[in-house]
Amino acid sequence: MSSITWLTPSNSEHAAWLVVYVRRNYPVINQNLTKKPFDAKQFCKTFKANVESYWPDRYERSVQLTKIRNAWDQEQSRKKRGTQSLSIQLDSDVKKKFSQFVKFHKLTQAKFIEELLFHYNTPNGETDLFKTADTRRQDSLDKEKLEAEISALKAKLIDKDKEIEHLKSKVNKFTDTTSSDKSGRTDIEELIYKGFVEHVQDKIKP
């Protein structure tokens, strides 16, 4: 059974890496964790303490924790292979905004560029990257509100369906009664007609 004991929240490298990894791979978990103004270490500690609630099934939890550990090992292996420097010229305003984003997301400049590239190639991902905890919280509230409205409309539809079925039942009963009354009147008229014919025939007999 895979575990998460290797992950150390007090390790700045572990914590910073996990924040990025969870944001990329577990958006729902990330949304829950970013509802509070956690720093990277608090984020990591809270994630580690709640892995059983994220994946209650032991087998699924084992698969996910193995996946996380493998991703960390791959990250370390990539670093050992070495990196290449990148030198770019930026407009002063762009550079200022870049620095603000890096500071806000608690990432190195290199890691921030990696994030930009990753989300650029992920549909709609680039918009999620810059969402703050307040924005995510508002998104969650909006989603809950829409889901509540959908549930209310579904309940109304069910009530309307019941009302329609009730009305259909009343119409059917009315139709059956009408047919029965019509049939009864036809039989009576037939008896009267036969009686009249017999009476007439008796009158015209020689």
Residue with tokens 């109304």: 156
| Lowest mean pLDDT, pick from 40-44, 126-130, 154-158 | 126-130
Residues 6 or more apart whose Cβ sits within 8 Å of residue 20: 107, 111, 115
The DSSP letter of residue 36 is S
> Does the predicted TM-score (pTM) go above 0.75?
no
Min mean pLDDT across 18-27, 38-47, 168-177, 186-195 is at: 186-195
- Residue 30's nearest CA partner among 10, 12, 50 is 50
- Measured at the CA of 128, the angle between CA 122 and CA 130, to 5 degrees, comes to 120
Mean pLDDT calculated for residue range 180-206 = 60
Predicted local distance difference test score (pLDDT) of residue 126: 41
Using CA atoms in the order 166, 167, 173, 177, what is the torsion angle rounded to 10 degrees?
160
Q: How many CB atoms lie within 10 A of CB 27?
A: 13
